[in-house]
Amino acid sequence: MYVFSFEKLEVWQNARGLILDIYKLTGKFPSNELFGITSQIKRSSSSIATNIAEETSRNSNKDKAHFLTISYASAMETLNHLIIAKDLNYISDIDYIESREKIEKICNQINSLKKYYLSKE
């Protein structure tokens, strides 16, 4: 089976892991949040990896950097949802800290990759 270039990126692998973590965490959320924060955080976390994958299909470094910017924004949206979930006591302090640290790492990786592309312009 062919492995696409995005699948080889550590940042994409980490973002994929975050998605799985988010799905596990949201399984504990109240059922009345299914179409609220549960849906929002699943979509925003998925968008991180999706835009990293889409970035690899772009031809120009400027376009690549643009999709990484979108990915970073999705990471911030995911973090915002995690903060709210913690405030509502939907997740534990430990789950919050672990997820936040993963997002911070992913954001650092996104920024490094974006700087690389912009330095090539």
Q: Minimal CA–CA distance to 102: which of 1, 14, 26?
A: 14
pLDDT in tens, 51-85: 999 999 999 999 999 999 999 999 999 999 999 99
Q: What is the pLDDT of residue 97?
A: 98
* pTM metric for this prediction: 0.95
C-alpha to C-alpha distance for 82 and 25, rounded to whole angstroms: 10
Task: Give me the phi and psi of 79, to 5 degrees please.
Answer: -60, -45
Instruction: Specify the residue for token string 């699943």.
Output: 42
CATH of 6-119, one of 2.60.120.620, 1.10.3720.10, 1.20.1250.20, 1.20.1440.60: 1.20.1440.60
Proportion of the chain above pLDDT 90, given as a percent = 96
- Checking phi first, is residue 89 left (phi over 0); if not, alpha (psi -120 to 50) or beta? left
Instruction: Report residue 41 as tokens.
Output: 């955080």
4 phi and psi angles, rounded to 5 deg: -75, 155
What residue segments make up the domains of the chain, in order of their start? 6-119
